[in-house]
Structure 1
């Protein structure tokens, strides 16, 4: 099965200042709901990252399950800039995000 026809996981890890953790987590729940309303997004799961841990920091990892790589490409082309800018506008430089794309190994 090709990567395009197979579901993918879009992983977003967010490292943030502990001082904004509660506010960020509340915002994240709303953000995830908006993401799940986009075409091709099937589900999302949020994880608290336990290791590695940096003093004064909190890290969350979100796994978004998408229908296929085409749905992810559509998101990246049509929606990603806007969705990312919302977090940046609200929290500025008090967080950092990194992203990976995963596919289940055969």
Structure 2
């Protein structure tokens, strides 16, 4: 169940970052509150996952999910530029996430 919580925490982290962008510097209340809710849920599920997963593994995977998810959604939702190098480095993050899972 800890791994499920960790993935969920990462997904809420990505959602939080997306709503942080939508909040436009915390000027839009609805998006600001949604950001806070997603970030709070992210930390709750991260905390639950760290009951059994070592922090060196859990935190690394959590930040990796957040970083790669934010880059990919940034390209899709906010029409940020796409290029082979950016996608290759996101692939490297995903490869590292899988590697951390395999060695834990």
The verdict on a shared fold, with TM-score over 0.5 as the criterion, is no
Structure holding more strand per residue: 1
Query: TM-score, structure 2 length as denominator?
Result: 0.32
Query: TM-score, structure 1 length as denominator?
Result: 0.31
Choose between structure 1 and 2 for higher RCO, CA contacts under 8 A separated by at least 6 residues: 1
